[in-house]
């Protein structure tokens, strides 16, 4: 399972704070299920940051209102790209945010087809896009092992000594 790739690289916290009811409420509001590995991430890690506060992963695991606010804020941001594939949620296909870093770069899914096959799209703060045909947890594990290098967002390799997760 993909979550095992990530837990092998970065140990999860003792408690994720995951609440099944909140997750169900978010999926009902969105009108579609979220990827299974994302749910496993939320159950295992919860909402929080990697590498101190560098990389944030936004999970609907403890607060519907804060997750909905984030998704709505991202959806109202200026257009991302002339290509229809990179319009923002709620367009389908479109970009649905799941993370970002302290430099203003964002991580999305391209919501096209089955949620368990949605690719990851890295968006730089300069609006450069790069697609990765892998699930979120495999993307994170590969990035932390320095095997996946989004060329427009992370110029430095991740340092193994900084690979920790902090719940927020």
- Give the pLDDT of residue 18: 85
Q: What is the mean pLDDT of residues 124-134?
A: 90
Can you give the pTM of this predicted structure? Answer: 0.89
| CATH class of the domain comprising 2-77+85-167 | alpha beta
Question: How long is the chain?
Answer: 168
How far are the Cα atoms of 45, 54, 76, 136 from residue 117, in angstroms, in the given order? 21, 26, 25, 10
Q: Which two tokens stand for residue 46?
A: 């919860």
pLDDT tens track for 71-98? 777 766 655 555 555 776 666 788 888 9
Phi/psi region, residue 30 (left: phi>0; alpha: psi -120 to 50; beta: rest), is: alpha
- Give the pLDDT of residue 152: 87
């Amino acid at each position: 399972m993909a979550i095992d790739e990530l837990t092998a690289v970065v140990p999860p916290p003792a408690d994720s704070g995951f609440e099944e009811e909140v997750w169900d409420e978010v999926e009902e509001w969105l009108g579609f299920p979220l990827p299974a590995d994302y749910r496993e991430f939320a159950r295992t890690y919860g909402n929080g940051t990697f590498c101190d506060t560098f990389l944030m992963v936004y999970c609907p695991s403890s607060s519907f209102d804060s997750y909905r606010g984030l998704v709505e804020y991202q959806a109202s941001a200026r257009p991302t790209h002339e290509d229809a594939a990179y319009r923002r949620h709620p367009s389908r296909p479109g970009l649905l945010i799941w993370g970002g870093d302290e430099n203003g770069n964002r991580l999305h899914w391209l919501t096209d087809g089955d949620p368990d096959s949605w690719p990851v799209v890295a968006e730089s703060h300069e609006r450069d896009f790069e697609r990765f045909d892998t699930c979120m947890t495999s993307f994170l594990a590969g990035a932390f092992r320095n095997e996946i290098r989004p060329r427009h967002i992370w110029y430095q390799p991740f340092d193994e000594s900084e690979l920790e997760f902090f719940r927020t």
